[in-house]
Structure 1
Amino acid sequence: MNRRGRLVLGVLGAAVVGVLLWEGYKAVGDPDGTVLFGTRVLPRTDDAAMPHVWTILSRFGEPELAGGHPIWLVVLQACLFTLRSVAIGFVAGGLVGLLLAVLMQRLRVVERGLLPYVILSQTVPLIALAPVIAGWGGRLSIGTYPWQPWMSVTVIAMYLAFFPVAVGMLRGLQSPAPIAEELMRSYAAGWWQTLVKLRLPASTPYLFPALRLAAAAAVVGAVVGEISMGTRGGVGRLVIEYSREATTDPAKVFTAMIGAAALGLAVAGVVGLSEFLVGRRRVRA
């Protein structure tokens, strides 16, 4: 079985295991949840908290509201709206991370001074950061085009996406063996030639895992940003709106959550496909 077949089989197997765990716990778990020392450590298993998997899946084919569009279409449109922020934030964050990695590799003093702050930046809670970015964005404009709420969501997605690329690429750029660097110096290769011909190719095994993490982080940032700032149209806002109906229509809440998870898998899948194509090209070369 080739790599693609193993990947498909692994994804299907993980989905089956997840469904079995969900339904298995629902079958044997306490409807009021498992309580240990007065604290609920496992969730309730009643239909209001844990609907059956087939109930959730069947809800996708039903109208969101009476006489409205089917809920799968509403979730799909919301995911496509969020995808814009994810894509722009992912690309911008990747470029910022790459530039920071190159700068830190080039100047050791920059690495020592900047890397701690790059790591520290990821400890800031998004719930606290989102209103600040939204406030700043409200005072900005791009020429005559006013700042839009989705742009603030894009900034949050970029903020989370740049970190794994910066750290991963820094490690990749520093990965060539000393003997390889000495060989480039013996050829009188400058810093730029060494970067292009040695360091960037050597960093490829580190780049794509970092990009997969950045893609997932961009989705999380976009969804959390939409939830925190109340941006309408995206899947994050859909999660909030559907959560208000959790008591009367619990399966509806999970449709938005599945949509957000599917968006993350789709973006990570695009990165994985790019890695596969680049790998094939390198093998042919």
Structure 2
Amino acid sequence: MGSRARTVLTTVAAFVLLVAAWELAKLVLPAAGVTFGGVRLLPRADDAAMPHVWTVLAKLGAPEVAGAADPRSVGVAVASGALFTLGLALGGLVLGGVGGVLLALLMQRFALAERAVLPYVIASQTVPLIAIAPLVAGWGGRIAIAGWAWQPWASVMVIASYLAFFPIAVGMLRGLNSPPKADVELFHSMASGWWTTLLRLRLPASVPHLVPAVRLAAAAAVVGAIVAEISTGTRGGVGRLIIEYAQSATGDPSQMYAAIGGAAVLGLVAAGAVGLLDLGLRRYRGAVS
């Protein structure tokens, strides 16, 4: 309980510091920003660029569209979009996790596969996500399986898995290779095959490396889902809300910042959900010497 309480207090303190830093910057920085030689060195700090935190919070209760017959509040819209994006991000995390684990097992089993595949796995993360999203959406639009046509949300899920698989693959590979050489040799001396060594030694030893990798992958999957929604024009998620609110943010940007805040909270929720996995695998936490 003490550890959990410290985690909660640290999270709350970080949020309070962020709010204080925002308001301090708004108080100290010039309203028009600082420009030198035609280059803006410090951003604008007026209400049209940096609204007060309480203004953004108050916007959550305001109608999303003024004068609508059945108006919904901005908070409800952001929460609904965040839940939609969270579902796609978690789906991408599962796809990326399965692919990353299988790839790590392949690279651990065959040294040649590690030397051949790992450089390309690393190089894949240098490709801009905004360039991949239209390709995935275009290729997916041509897929039809047993009468089921590819949906835009499927492209978002695949793109989210693209970001999620890398940290899981690298973390899992490191964990599988983490057992001391003496332990591996002990299993070999007992005539244990690769499969037995994997189940009894390497997988338990990989847990302390896998859990942080999954937590990082969860946050990456959320980022991938939001960027994919923006790039592919998928409606229903918080990424699309950010674009729609930004188009009407010329005079009052608080609505856009409310959507951005919802996206930030979404990332925290996804990363915090990995804590359930950590609790389930707590007994393996000391598996690595």
Q: Give deviations 1:9-32, integer Å, cap 9, x for gaps.
A: 000000000011000010010111
Matching residue within 99, 102, 120 for 2:102: 99
Aligned to 2:20: 20
Aligned to 1:108: 111
User: Percent same amino acid at aligned positions?
Assistant: 58
The aligned runs of 1:42-191 (5 Å cut-off) are 42-66=42-66, 67=68, 68-191=71-194
Three-state SS of the structure 1 residue aligned to 2:281 is helix
Question: Cα distance, 1:282 vs. partner?
Answer: 6.6
Structure 2 distance, partners of 1:3, 1:41, is 41
Question: Cα distance, 1:80 vs. partner?
Answer: 1.3
Question: Cα distance, 1:280 vs. partner?
Answer: 5.5
Question: Cα distance, 1:34 vs. partner?
Answer: 2.7
Three-state SS of the structure 2 residue aligned to 1:124 is coil
Given the two structures, how large is their TM-score scaled by the length of structure 1? 0.96
Structure 2 distance, partners of 1:189, 1:42, is 63
Aligned to 1:33: 33
Structure 1 distance, partners of 2:109, 2:225, is 32
Structure 1 distance, partners of 2:153, 2:11, is 31
Question: Cα distance, 1:143 vs. partner?
Answer: 1.9
Question: Cα distance, 1:277 vs. partner?
Answer: 3.5
Structure 2 distance, partners of 1:252, 1:236, is 13
Structure 2 distance, partners of 1:65, 1:274, is 40
Letter in 1 for 2:30: D
Question: Cα distance, 1:37 vs. partner?
Answer: 4.8
Q: Give the CA RMSD over aligned residues.
A: 1.4
Three-state SS of the structure 2 residue aligned to 1:64 is coil
Structure 1 distance, partners of 2:35, 2:187, is 64
* Structure 2 alignment gaps of length 5 or more: none
Given the two structures, how large is their TM-score scaled by the length of structure 2? 0.95
Question: Cα distance, 1:248 vs. partner?
Answer: 2.4
Three-state SS of the structure 2 residue aligned to 1:35 is strand
Question: Cα distance, 1:249 vs. partner?
Answer: 2.2
